[in-house]
Structure 1
Amino acid sequence: MSVLVEFAMFPTDKGESVSPYVSRIIKMIDESGVNYKLTPMGTVFEVETMEEALKIIDQAYKQLEKDCNRVYSVVKFDIRKGKSGRLKQKIESVEKKLGKQVSK
């Protein structure tokens, strides 16, 4: 099974720039070994189970709860049985249909 997750999470009580807080979350994901992609508006990662996905989201929140009084988050899931590697595969499929060189 493949669980693709796109999410954004950040404090709303820490001023205009929240990159120091977002960086904590990205560091935790990176150290977890989960395949992910950081984007300007959030992060996408892929795991094999919903339990793993929810654990990452919970750990992300724990990076902020200690010194943030208000946290905003939005989360989207794409769950598909019998597939894996979709973080890269979905982009390659669209690029191929557009006649573009496939991303490495």
Structure 2
Amino acid sequence: MSVLMEFAVFPTDKGESVSAYVARVLRVVRQSGHPHQLTAMGTIVETETMAEATELLNRAYAVLAEDCNRVYATAKFDVRAGPMGRLEAKVKSVEEKVRGA
């Protein structure tokens, strides 16, 4: 199984720039060992199970809840039976079609 989760978690009570807090979340993602991709609007992570994805989301929230009174979170999931590797394969498939057009 492959679970792609695109999520964003950040405090809304820490001013205009929250990049230091997003960096804390990204450290949690990197420590998880799951394949991931940081984007300007969030982070995409690939896990083998939904439980792993939601556990990572919980840990991302927890690292902010330590000193943030208000945290915004959003998540989208794409769950599919089959092998891992979709984080890169989906982008590669589109890029190949763009080049072939």
2:18 counterpart of 1:35: no
**Paired AA for residue 52 in structure 1:** E
- For 1:13-52, what aligned pairs fall within 5 Å after superposition? 13-52=13-52
What does residue 56 of structure 1 align with? 56
What does residue 88 of structure 1 align with? 88
Q: Count residues with an aligned counterpart.
A: 100
Q: Which runs of 5+ in 1 are unaligned?
A: none
SS at match of 1:20: helix
For 1:80 and 1:92, locate their aligned partners in 2 and report how far apart those are by CA, in whole Å.
18
TM-score by length of 2: 0.96
Higher share in helix: 2
Q: How far has the Cα of 1:31 moved from its partner?
A: 1.4
What does residue 6 of structure 1 align with? 6
SS at match of 1:57: helix
Following TM superposition, the consecutive aligned residue runs of length 4 or more in structure 1 with deviations greater than 3 angstroms are none
TM-score by length of 1: 0.93
**Paired AA for residue 91 in structure 2:** I
RMSD of aligned residue pairs (Cα, Å): 0.9
Q: How far has the Cα of 1:83 moved from its partner?
A: 2.9
For 2:82 and 2:29, locate their aligned partners in 1 and report how far apart those are by CA, in whole Å.
24
